[in-house]
Structure 1
Amino acid sequence: MDFPICVTCGVQYAGPRPDCPICEDERQYVGWEGQRWTTLEELRGGHRGRVAEEGPGVVGIGTEPSVAIGQRALLLRAPTGNVLWDMVTHIDDDLVRRVNDLGGVSAIAISHPHYYGTMIEWARAFDATVHIHEADRRWVARPDDAVAFWSGDTLELADGLTLINAGVHFAGGQVLHWRDARALFSGDIVQVVDDRDWVSFMYSYPNYIPERPRTVRRALRLLEPYDFDRVYGAWWNKIVYSGGKEAVRRSAERYLSHALDDE
């Protein structure tokens, strides 16, 4: 519980250090009060887990009050074993018990480094492997044998559960397609916006840096073979509830029409 956690991004590091490279990168930021640290022990004093249904076969896992960026994770209750998509920082015995009551966690996959949170704590609590794309290896703040790096464009986690290296936001930015649920789990690689019939694409959200058009086009090509109705974003209720594939296509067209083409 003594491993340091960055207050701004919520990522846990392997040991004390003066800086958080994830926050010093131009896609994030150092808090206005400077670099600050906390620990799981401190968080457990004032936070608790939130578990609530987010869709058919999908359970949201978050923290009250929210920590760092404030995203929630999603537990996909698949017949082949539950997959935890994305990550939160908070974890305690009660939250582990509640997740175990839902069938536990067979595998973990995280969209990008801003959401790595306490992934090693979660992996050890459920004896699960964390699947990260090789292109984001350098951002893993607490190296551990629980992390499995993969390469290429896609990885089949189980029958009908496929990781896709969309490469938006981070070179290893990944989304998860669940065939049987006709759903895409996108974190903020494909960002569900407040008008939930649309999505968007950014290199940096807090610093308003747009993603490169060629990167968005590549992501569209990789997503083309997959059908999905729903798109689950990174926060509670940030969901495209129907027509998800068409929403991604037309959103990309709108984005590209406003972007300065670099090709």
Structure 2
Amino acid sequence: MTHPICRACGTQYAEPRDDCPVCLDERQYVAPGGQRWTSLKELQAEGHSGRFEEQGPDVFGIGVTPEFSIGQRALLLRTPAGNVLWDCVPYLDDEMVRRVEELGGIDHIAISHPHFYSVMVEWAHAFDAPVHLHEADREWVGRPDPALQFWSGRTKPLTDELTLINPGVHFPGSTVLHSSAGDGALFTGDVVNVGPDPRWVSIMYSFPNHVPEQPQKVRAAADLLAGYRFERIYGAWWGRVVTSGGEEVLARSVERYLRFERGE
């Protein structure tokens, strides 16, 4: 069976349908030309391919060229306990599988929120890896599969060095990944969005529609993440990385937002 992929957000569904619930939600959008669909086979025929670039120590970015959907890139973390794919891209081909295998393959897949679910089941099958998703966002899964493993609560240890954290902003089940290796790192997708100026990050309810997150939720997320040490913050797009002082960047950015919210 051909599993349709939404051209606007990259979400893959189990079977054909008329609409894309992810795009109909106010945190995303239906493109001006209306709902359009594609498939992995069509994307491969259009000439898409994988893009691989080192993004940090033992962190490799994986994207799609020409850019497709929302243009995100995933991150492959190479760790002593196995490789973890953080977030996902809406494309996969044999050459990408070969490149990832050269880097050590994938032992776990973890995804920040529904905008990055994309073709996660294809990646799970290609590498025989479980996909870790927060239970609170189960309703957004477009293609159910036994590879999807749901967790609940605020934290879930993935390995001795890696912990999934649910800060509760953007989506109820939003997730960031903390690494305690070295000076520490936080992998955030756009749950905590690294902007063009890496001295600042932002937390929004909807980025494409410019809807801010509720101040009390932003404060609660910042308080939760303050319990972790991290120098680096890896965002969702190419080049969006805070390379030092990550804890200070997050704290300063949250305080700036709350000052504006109070009208100061």
Query: What TM-score comes out, normalization by structure 1 length?
Result: 0.98
For 1:252 and 1:221, locate their aligned partners in 2 and report how far apart those are by CA, in whole Å: 10
Over aligned residues, Cα RMSD in angstroms? 1.0
- 1:148 counterpart residue number: 149
> Aligned residue for 2:9?
9
Structure 2 CA distance for aligned equivalents of residues 143 and 188 of structure 1: 24
Instruction: Output aligned runs, 1:80-229, within 5 Å.
Output: 80-181=81-182, 182-229=184-231
Deviation, structure 1 residue 257: 1.2
Residue in structure 1 matched with residue 50 of structure 2 by the alignment: 49
SS of residue matched to 2:17: coil
Q: Partner residue of 2:32?
A: 32
Q: Which residue of 1 aligns with 2:59?
A: 58
Q: Deviations over 1:11-36 (max 9, x none)?
A: 10000000000000000000100000
1:257 corresponds to which of 252, 255, 259: 259
Give me the whole-angstrom Cα distance separating, in 2, the residues matched to 1:37 and 1:167. Answer: 31
Offset, 1:259? 2.1
Distance in 2, Cα, partners of 1:108 & 1:166: 19
CA distance in 1, matches of 2:180, 2:62: 22
Where do 4+ consecutive residues of structure 1 move more than 6 Å?
none
1:260 to partner: Cα distance: 5.5
Partners of 2:169 and 2:194 in 1: how far apart?
A: 14
Deviation at 1:225, TM superposition (A): 1.4
The DSSP-based 3-state class of the residue aligned with 1:84 is strand
Question: CA–CA distance in 2 between the matches of 1:203 and 1:160?
Answer: 29
Distance change >3 Å, CA 32–CA 237, structure 1 → 2: same
SS at match of 1:252: helix
The equivalent residue for 1:244 is 246
For residue 74 of structure 1, give the secondary structure of its aligned residue in structure 2.
Answer: strand
The 2-side partners of 1:75 and 1:69 are apart by 19
In the alignment, the residues of structure 2 paired with residue 57 and residue 103 of structure 1 have an alpha-carbon distance, to the nearest angstrom, of 11
The amino acid across from 2:97 in the alignment is: V
C-alpha distance in structure 1 between counterparts of 2:141 and 2:217, whole Å: 23
* Distance in 2 of aligned mates of 1:47 and 1:13: 20
Deviations 1:48-92 (A, max 9, x none): 001110000100000101110000000000110000000001100
Letter in 1 for 2:44: R
SS in 1 for 2:248: helix
TM-score (norm 2): 0.97
Matched residue, 1:20? 20
Residue 23 of structure 1 aligns with an amino acid whose one-letter code is C
1:171/1:260 Cα in 2 relative to 1: closer, same or farther (>3 Å)? Answer: farther
How many angstroms apart in 2 are the aligned matches of 1:94 and 1:124? Answer: 15
1:5 CA drift (Å): 0.2
Q: How many residues matched?
A: 261
